């Protein structure tokens, strides 16, 4: 049984075995939570991402997939990078968003991570409406078959925190 928690704050200040990054398929950085993680985590994370691109992901990491690197100077052992879908009004990409949470937890299980911190994947630059992002995130983690003992959703602002809280 996985305990689910919600906190409001900056995920780069969170302590967890694994911190999930809302990355993009290049794995080479961006804005939002990705930029914050790469800044505070120091150069080791980007260096590990570059190596992953060269060794395994020449075309980039696909949407809905997840891969781990060192967490550099963050208070965690690993960063799990996942690529959320860009929100679309024409196409239902909910399965891809759910896959981000499932795949991140699968990678966490492989690593032996017991505690995992997630941001609201896709709910920033990628435009996913917060209430729907929260619904998919919480339902997917609840339904996941995982050995992870504790999942903490780290929500950047009050509106996001409240949207996730409504899922309880
Ligand atoms: N801690 C916790 N949550 C944060 C933080 C933080 N430090 N900073 C932002 N958020 P976004 P996406 C929230 O845009 O929508 C990047 O350029 C933010 O308020 O980070 O998946 C990547 O490289 C929002 O609620 O991720 C991709 O190109 C949530 O995190 C693209 O953005 C996700 O917002 C991914 O876009």
Residues 6+ positions from 110 with CB-CB distance below 8 Å: none
Query: DSSP 3-state assignment of 13?
Result: helix
Query: DSSP 3-state assignment of 144?
Result: coil
Q: Is the pLDDT of residue 161 over 90?
A: yes
DSSP states of 73-100: TSSSSEEEEEEPPPP-SSS--HHHHHHH
Assessment of whether the complete model's pTM goes beyond 0.95: yes
Tell me, using a 6 A CB cutoff, whether residue 103 lines ligand 1: no
Tell me, using a 6 A CB cutoff, whether residue 22 lines ligand 1: yes
Nearest CA to ligand 1 atom 12: 122
pLDDT in tens, 72-121: 999 999 999 999 999 999 999 999 999 999 999 999 999 999 999 999 99
């Amino acid at each position: 049984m996985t305990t689910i928690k919600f906190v409001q704050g900056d995920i780069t200040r969170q302590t967890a075995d694994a911190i999930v990054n809302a990355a993009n398929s290049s794995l080479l950085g961006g804005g939002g939570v990705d930029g914050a993680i790469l800044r505070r985590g120091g150069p080791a994370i980007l260096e590990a991402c570059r190596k992953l691109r060269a060794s395994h992901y020449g075309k980039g990491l696909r949407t809905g997939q997840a891969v781990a690197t060192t967490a550099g100077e963050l208070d965690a052992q690993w960063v799990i990078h996942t690529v959320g879908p860009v929100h679309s009004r024409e196409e239902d990409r909910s399965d891809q968003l759910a896959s981000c949470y499932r795949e991140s937890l699968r990678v966490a299980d492989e690593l032996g991570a017991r505690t995992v911190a997630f941001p609201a994947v896709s709910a920033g630059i990628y435009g996913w409406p917060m209430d729907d992002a929260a619904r998919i995130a919480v339902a997917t983690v609840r339904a996941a078959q995982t050995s992870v003992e504790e999942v903490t959703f780290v929500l950047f602002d009050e509106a996001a925190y409240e949207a996730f809280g409504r899922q309880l």
